[in-house]
Chain A
């Protein structure tokens, strides 16, 4: 028996000859904030629409809350969706939009009005009920769409890139609000996004998708620190890749890298867990540090500053290390009293073998 809210088993979807979903299997837990993350065309929206019931699957099974969903139409599923375009009904008022799902419930007008008021309050739009839906701003439409989808108290809320149409500031505010809202209502949220930062900020767990398949399904920290493949590592955040040779493996790995020398890694630093084949290691920019007078690193290497990108709170440097073909990107927090290095300056870098990830 399975206590997952949503259980996907080997789901395949074809559009003609195009294989959009290639054997998706995943369990999504009750009350979880789950994200489907991937570049456009990876199948994340298709998967969301399969869960909503707008797309049939060619093979495989989908269960929601313990019930098989293959023969259940979208209007009978315990899911509701927030569309990318918000799909606000332009000929109805805000209250009529929000209360649209109540039409078929056996409740009286007073109860409907109460529930609409409650839903509007939940999304911070109390008192907006009588406005025309078309007179709202982007952020307000987003809230109407949320209230409308939550009013039926679905078991699962599906969000199709709900923040992509908002500007950066508003998007960051809405991210926080969505997290709060999800904790408040306590239901499963499934978010589709191509924005890795958004997924990291909001999710309990993330499924990274490429080419119709799930490349890795983990919590944000594991995804970031222990990506299983180079593709996942590259998609989430910035990562430097260096060629490496595995010189010994047993309990962990002994590796040798040009420029950085030898290091030994623990078994969990190779989450992809393959053996043989050409190897490479990944290094996140923030695990490297520029060492100033008197500072010591766990391991040290000489480098030349090749490019400086100033971000205000952070500075990104491209560093040239002798023996390494590509420059290594490094990020430093800008602290008062410490100058930003200039191009062409020499620097000592500190790095730690524990921060490396081995890919094969």
Chain B
């Protein structure tokens, strides 16, 4: 095979550099022994990571984010299971319209979701708390859950459920014994992705979180203090590593699910 550099190849490389260079800079400065974010690098240190352990407001934000992330993941996955199963198995009036409306937050600007939620919540007199953030996050995560779970349910051969039903099981025990184990990889993948989205999400959390900031909101607040920026870099490094890990696990389970039900990989999010 003859190698040649095409215009498309250059474009692809430039694209990847633009996309990932900032992310690569993050750990670079997180280990740099200087408070100023600039080249040349002055030396190696892990002091910024050590500093993270001492900030209590940060710990509160982490706990808050984890709580919101886990709750969001569970709620949006449960909603996703119901919607995806209904959409994959049944025909009902206005199905396309209803599914379209449920999937809409996927393309709706978050700032609009956030502002309108804020207006509505204040209008009906609900106080802002971590639950209002969860509400917003479930709204934007559910479409992702549905998309993942819909492919899991569609890949499931309908006659598997019929066979279990035919062999004496009830509809519920069929769901528990056959359907659930076979779509479990999809469920895990949905949990991980909604958790990751919730953990990273800023705009909705910023508008709806009141006195208890989530991690991204906390980080944004810290950016005003130049001396704290290296520590934020260290924090960012941890978050990036964690996100990549979670997405990799999610993809692993999605692929395993497809292999298990004997389906063909039609491409996923990664």
Do B168 and A54 touch (CB < 8 A)? no
Stretch at the interface among B26-34, B118-126, B157-165: B157-165
Q: How many residue pairs bridge A and B at CB < 8 Å?
A: 58
Q: Which of B164, B167, B181, B262 has the most chain A CB atoms inside 10 A of its CB?
A: B167
Contact of A91 among B162, B163, B169, B260 (CB under 8 A): B260
Residue B182 interfacial (CB < 8 Å): yes
Contact of B159 among A87, A103, A149 (CB under 8 A): A87
Report chain A residues within 8 Å CB of B182.
90-91
Residue B166 interfacial (CB < 8 Å): yes
CB-defined interface of A75-111 with B at 8 Å, one 1/0 digit per residue?
A: 1000111011101011100000000110110000000
Interfacial residues of chain A within 140-197, with CB under 8 A of chain B in the complex: 148-149, 152
Residue A39 interfacial (CB < 8 Å): no
Report chain A residues within 8 Å CB of B261.
90
Q: How far is the CA of A101 from the CA of B174 in the complex (A)?
A: 12
Report chain B residues within 8 Å CB of A23.
none
Do B262 and A100 touch (CB < 8 A)? no
Q: How far is the CA of A273 from the CA of B182 in the complex (A)?
A: 56
Contact of A152 among B168, B181, B260 (CB under 8 A): B168
Residue A134 interfacial (CB < 8 Å): yes
**Given A90-B260, A91-B181, A91-B260, A85 and B159 contact (CB-CB distance below 8 Å):** yes
Report chain B residues within 8 Å CB of A104.
168-169
Residue B170 interfacial (CB < 8 Å): yes
Residue B178 interfacial (CB < 8 Å): yes
The distance from the CB of B71 to the nearest CB of chain A, in whole angstroms, is 29
Do A134 and B164 touch (CB < 8 A)? no
Q: How far is the CA of A104 from the CA of B166 in the complex (A)?
A: 13
**Given A91-B181, A91-B260, A85 and B157 contact (CB-CB distance below 8 Å):** yes
In this complex, how many residues of chain B approach chain A with their Cβ under 8 Å: the count is 18
Report chain B residues within 8 Å CB of A100.
164, 167
Residue A47 interfacial (CB < 8 Å): no
CB-defined interface of A44-66 with B at 8 Å, one 1/0 digit per residue?
A: 00000000111000000000000
Residue A139 interfacial (CB < 8 Å): no
**Given A89-B178, A90-B262, A75 and B163 contact (CB-CB distance below 8 Å):** no
The distance from the CB of A32 to the nearest CB of chain B, in whole angstroms, is 21
Do A75 and B260 touch (CB < 8 A)? no
Do B167 and A152 touch (CB < 8 A)? yes
Report chain A residues within 8 Å CB of B166.
52-54, 74-75, 79-81, 149
The distance from the CB of A20 to the nearest CB of chain B, in whole angstroms, is 16
Do B262 and A134 touch (CB < 8 A)? yes
Do B262 and A83 touch (CB < 8 A)? no
Report chain B residues within 8 Å CB of A152.
167-168
Report chain A residues within 8 Å CB of B169.
75, 103-104
Report chain B residues within 8 Å CB of A83.
159, 162-163
Q: How far is the CA of A103 from the CA of B170 in the complex (A)?
A: 12
Do B160 and A87 touch (CB < 8 A)? yes
The distance from the CB of A73 to the nearest CB of chain B, in whole angstroms, is 8
Interfacial residues of chain B within 152-192, with CB under 8 A of chain A in the complex: 157, 159-160, 162-170, 178, 181-182
Q: How far is the CA of A54 from the CA of B174 in the complex (A)?
A: 14
Report chain B residues within 8 Å CB of A74.
162, 165-166
The distance from the CB of A260 to the nearest CB of chain B, in whole angstroms, is 51
Output the nearest chain B residue to A83 by Cβ-Cβ distance: B159
**Given A89-B178, A91-B181, A80 and B159 contact (CB-CB distance below 8 Å):** no
Output the nearest chain A residue to B157 by Cβ-Cβ distance: A85
The distance from the CB of B64 to the nearest CB of chain A, in whole angstroms, is 38
Report chain A residues within 8 Å CB of B163.
81, 83, 87, 89, 148
The distance from the CB of A74 to the nearest CB of chain B, in whole angstroms, is 5
Report chain A residues within 8 Å CB of B159.
83-85, 87
Output the nearest chain A residue to B262 by Cβ-Cβ distance: A90
Q: How far is the CA of A90 from the CA of B178 in the complex (A)?
A: 9
Contact of B167 among A73, A90, A91, A101 (CB under 8 A): A101
Output the nearest chain A residue to B160 by Cβ-Cβ distance: A87
Report chain B residues within 8 Å CB of A80.
166-167
Q: How far is the CA of A81 from the CA of B165 in the complex (A)?
A: 10
- Apart from A52-B166, A54-B166, A79-B166, list 20 A-B contacts with CB within 8 A: A54-B162, A74-B166, A75-B168, A75-B169, A80-B166, A81-B166, A85-B159, A87-B157, A87-B162, A87-B163, A89-B164, A90-B260, A90-B261, A90-B262, A91-B260, A134-B260, A134-B262, A149-B166, A149-B167, A152-B168
A-B contacts, 10 listed (Cβ < 8 Å): A54-B166, A74-B162, A75-B169, A80-B167, A83-B159, A83-B162, A87-B157, A90-B262, A103-B168, A134-B260
Point out residues on A near B: beta carbons under 8 Å: 52-54, 73-75, 79-81, 83-85, 87, 89-91, 100-101, 103-104, 134, 148-149, 152
Q: Which 6 A-B pairs have the closest CB atoms?
A: A101-B167, A87-B163, A87-B159, A83-B159, A75-B168, A87-B160
Point out residues on B near A: beta carbons under 8 Å: 157, 159-160, 162-170, 178, 181-182, 260-262
